[in-house]
Chains A and B, each alone.
Chain A
Amino acid sequence: MLANTPLGKLSPASLFVVGLAAAFVIFVIVQAITSPATLLQTVAASLGLGAVYSIIALGFVLIFKATQTINFAQGSLAVAGALFLSFAVSDGHIPFTTIANPLLNIGGPSWIPWVLSVFMALFFAAILGAIVERIAIRPMVGQPLFSVAVITLGLEFILRTLNNDTSETEFRSLEVPWGSEGFKIGDALINWSFVVSIALAIVSFIAVFLFYRSRLGIAMRAVAFDQEAAMAQGIDVGKVFAIAWIAGSMLATLGGIMGTQPPVKQTGAIDPQTATIAFRALPAVVLGGLDSASGALLGGLIVGFAEIFAGQYLSSYASTIGAGYPLIIPYVVMLIGLVVRPHGIFGTPEIRRV
Chain B
Amino acid sequence: MDKNKSNKKPEKEDHQESRRDFLKASSILTAIAVAPATVAKAAEYNLGEKISAAFETTPVNLTINGAKKQLAVEPRSTLLDVLREQLNLTGTKKGCDYGQCGACTVHVNGQRVLSCLSLVVMQEGKEVTTIEGIAKGDELHPMQKAFIKHDGFQCGYCTPGQIMSGIACINEGHAETKEDIKEFMSGNICRCGAYPNIVKAIQEVKNGGQKS
Are these two chains actual partners, yes or no?
A: no
Q: Which residues of B contact A (CB under 8 A)?
A: none
Q: Which residues of A contact B (CB under 8 A)?
A: none
